[in-house]
Amino acid sequence: MKMMAQQSATTVSPANLRRYVLKVNGEEREVTSYRDTSLLLVLRNELSLNGPKYGCGLGECGACTVMIDGVAARACVIPAYGVRQRAITTLEGLGQRDALHPVQQAFIDEQAAQCGYCLNGMIMTTAALLQDLPCPSDQQIRSALSGNLCRCGTHQEILCAVKRAVQLCLEQAEAQQ
């Protein structure tokens, strides 16, 4: 028991704090945290980015999903210090207020939210999916979103929103050509 108390005291010692830079939503941001502080806590507490939510703290529910180098990842189980050389995108960095990302717009269009707690994970996972697979099948959509929990039962609306996002992304790509 004494050993655990000593380790804990050592872990939270000011000498163990690290100052480093994270690239978040296209900007370099200086943060200070312990080496094992989760990316979620740094994003929310140090950078005031509240899109990612604290859900289970175990990487199981998806509420904390962000993209790291374009791949959906659970911010609650990733030490922020370990991703300091990588591009991190949060819900706030997907689009802007006056120019929403097609996935964000699709979720609004389809009213795919009830309590909204799962929304961050659903949107971020969908955005990552559509980067890799622009026209996913229903099964691919369900598979990609299977790790995101929605307790309110808006599953049908979420599936409709993802299908709408596919349409919006294709329209956006055509308009850019």
How far is 31 from 103, CA to CA, in rounded Å?
29
Tokens of 143: 């598979």
CATH code of 16-93, in short, is 3.10.20.30
The secondary structure element, H or E, covering residue 91 is: helix 91-94
How far is 172 from 174, CA to CA, in rounded Å?
5
- Interval 115-129 mean pLDDT: 94
Closest CA to 40 of 22, 65, 16, 61: 65
In this prediction, residue 1 carries a pLDDT of 35
147: left (phi over 0), alpha (psi -120 to 50) or beta: alpha
In this prediction, residue 126 carries a pLDDT of 97
Instruction: Domain 102-176: give its CATH superfamily.
Output: [2Fe-2S]-binding domain (1.10.150.120)
Residue 35's contacts (CB-CB under 8 Å, 6 or more residues apart) are 16, 18, 79, 81
Residue 9: CB atoms within 10 Å: 9
How far is 11 from 95, CA to CA, in rounded Å?
37
- In the chain, domain spans: 16-93, 102-176
Tokens of 74: 């659970």
Closest CA to 22 of 12, 33, 13: 33
Same CATH topology for 16-93 and 102-176: the answer is no
The pLDDT tens digits of the residues spanning 67-98 come to 999 999 999 999 999 999 999 999 999 999 89
The pLDDT tens digits of the residues spanning 16-70 come to 899 999 999 999 999 999 999 999 999 999 999 999 999 999 999 999 999 999 9
In this prediction, residue 163 carries a pLDDT of 96
The pLDDT tens digits of the residues spanning 141-158 come to 999 999 999 888 778 999
Query: Does the pTM exceed 0.75?
Result: yes
In this prediction, residue 60 carries a pLDDT of 95
How far is 102 from 167, CA to CA, in rounded Å?
9
3-state secondary structure of 60: coil
- pLDDT(139) > 50: yes
Tokens of 163: 């299908």
- Interval 110-132 mean pLDDT: 93
